[in-house]
Structure 1
Amino acid sequence: MLCNFYDPDLRQPVLGSCYPGRRITVLIDWFTVAAQIVNFLILVALLKHFLYDRIIRAMDKREEKISSRLQDAEDERKKAHEEAESYRRKNEDLKNAQEQMLDEAREEADRKLKELTHKAREEVDTARRRWQKSIEKEKNSFLQDLRRMTIQEVYDISRRALKDLAEVELEERMVDVFVSRFRQLKKDKKDTILKAIREESKVVIRSGFELSQASRQKIKKMLKEEASEKIEVTYDTDSQMIMGIELKSRGEKVAWSIRDYIADLEDRAKAALDKQIQESKE
């Protein structure tokens, strides 16, 4: 653009002049300046279009890619953190579940142990009660047999002894003892019996043997003397009453039996059995 412009003064040294004392005049060509500005703008536009824009786009793409990678990395980090947190929660839940299962297992074991212990204790108690019941049954059976045998033996021995020694029947002697016992009753008991006899005017005499006519007369005489009234007497024989006589009227009764003498023997036998049972328990 400056090819046709020639200025020899422009090639002179800046600090000095070829022509001392000469004033230098600089001429500005505005057209050239404008042309240079236009050229610069065109250059800037070309650089922007062909270089800067591409560089900026490449930088933007690179930045986007970096941002995307950073975002992916952040997402992966968050995902890893969430997975770690999830694993921690699952591990904690598993631990809690394990502890709960262990607690439940302990409780179940304790409950089962208590149940088995209680069941075993009940079985032992049942077996002990069954054993005690069996022992009690055998004891009662033995005592009944002992009572029956003792009474029968005493009856037979007494019968033979009285007959051999005094020629007196045992049954008659038992009636005598009964009449004597009735007369010797305590006043309140005797008054109660006599009141019932007078009001009822009936008496039932129950014995374990058939009373002879003489024995019946003794009883009637005793009633007449004690009650002072005419009394209707009914006699009843009960084979279960061995060596015994009972007077009953209007719910009141007086009885005498050889059982009264056997009671002490029975009590001592029972005490001996109880002692033996207690020792077997120990």
Structure 2
Amino acid sequence: MEINWFTVIAQIVNFLILVWLLKRFLYKPVLKAVDERKKKIEARLEDAAMRKAEAKKDKDLFRQKNEDFDKERTAKMNLAQEDVNSEKERLFKKVRNESNALRSKFENSFKQRKQELTDSLKRKTKDEVFAIVGKTLSDLANANLEDQVIHVFIKKIDNLTEVEKSKFIHALNDKHNPVAIKSVFDLSASSKQKLEKAIGQFAEKQLDFNYKLEAELLSGIEIETASHQMSWNIESYLDSLSRDSITM
């Protein structure tokens, strides 16, 4: 088979022309379009990346603001709760103190009223007992009762403690004043002699005695100087009995 070189060369020339034409009018525009498309895509991707970065930044900033807001809200709520608790405790304490004060005032008032009623009843009872005993002893007073009173009183003088005796001696010798002897009934000469002898043993000088009747004494006798007083009577025993009954 014989090769037609003219045809072969013509086809080669045609092919080269076609390649040039394709490169000139088709490939370069396509490459240019592809390159421009690529650049646009890269620009969009870069813009998207930038927007994504900004969005992430805004998101982080928003999250940080939320965290700061939550912290601030929590701190304010804790502070408000502390204030509420403090105020509640203050009010509870105030109410408790007022309640305790009111209860204490009521208890004191109740105790005072009870004591007043008790004292009033005891004073009334004591006065009635005194009145009855006084009238009875007044009706029964005689020489025998007088002797017993003088005997008991002299016994009391003889049994003075050292301190009481010292005070009595000092009172008798302090000034030249008469010694007042008070009694509810007239003393006999014998009774006066016994008393003056019992008292005179403590005096360093001659004593003057002044006898007085004292209607308020309840069957008893009393010695009084300028600075000292000594007495014994039925009332003292009743007072002692009354005090003992009050403390019971």
TM-score range, shorter chain: 0.5 to 0.7
Provide the C-alpha distance between the structure 2 equivalents of 1:186 and 1:77, rounded to a whole number of angstroms.
113
1:261 paired residue among 221, 233, 238: 238
Matched, 1:226 2:202: yes
Offset at residue 130 of structure 1 (A): 0.8
SS of 2:160's equivalent?
Answer: coil
Matched, 1:131 2:101: no
Give the corresponding residue for 1:97: 72
**TM-score, normalised on structure 2?**
0.59
Taking only aligned residues, the RMSD between alpha carbons, in angstroms, comes to 5.0
In structure 2, list runs of 5 or more residues that go unmatched: 10-23
Give the corresponding residue for 1:88: 63
SS of 1:226's equivalent?
Answer: coil
Kept in 1, the 8 Å contact 2:178–2:208? The answer is: yes
Provide the C-alpha distance between the structure 1 equivalents of 2:115 and 2:41, rounded to a whole number of angstroms.
107
Q: Percent identity?
A: 22
Kept in 2, the 8 Å contact 1:205–1:246? The answer is: yes
Relative to structure 1, the CA distance from residue 157 to residue 113 in structure 2 (aligned partners, 3 Å threshold; closer, same or farther) is: same
In structure 1, list runs of 5 or more residues that go unmatched: 1-9, 15-46, 236-240, 272-282
Kept in 2, the 8 Å contact 1:143–1:266? The answer is: no
Kept in 2, the 8 Å contact 1:203–1:247? The answer is: no
Offset at residue 76 of structure 1 (A): 1.9
Relative to structure 1, the CA distance from residue 114 to residue 171 in structure 2 (aligned partners, 3 Å threshold; closer, same or farther) is: farther
2:130 paired residue among 150, 155, 164: 155
Relative to structure 1, the CA distance from residue 198 to residue 157 in structure 2 (aligned partners, 3 Å threshold; closer, same or farther) is: same
From the CA coordinates, give the structure whose radius of gyration is larger.
1
**TM-score, normalised on structure 1?**
0.53
Provide the C-alpha distance between the structure 2 equivalents of 1:191 and 1:62, rounded to a whole number of angstroms.
134
Kept in 2, the 8 Å contact 1:246–1:255? The answer is: yes
Provide the C-alpha distance between the structure 2 equivalents of 1:140 and 1:80, rounded to a whole number of angstroms.
87
Provide the C-alpha distance between the structure 2 equivalents of 1:111 and 1:187, rounded to a whole number of angstroms.
66
Q: Which amino acid aligns with 2:137?
A: L
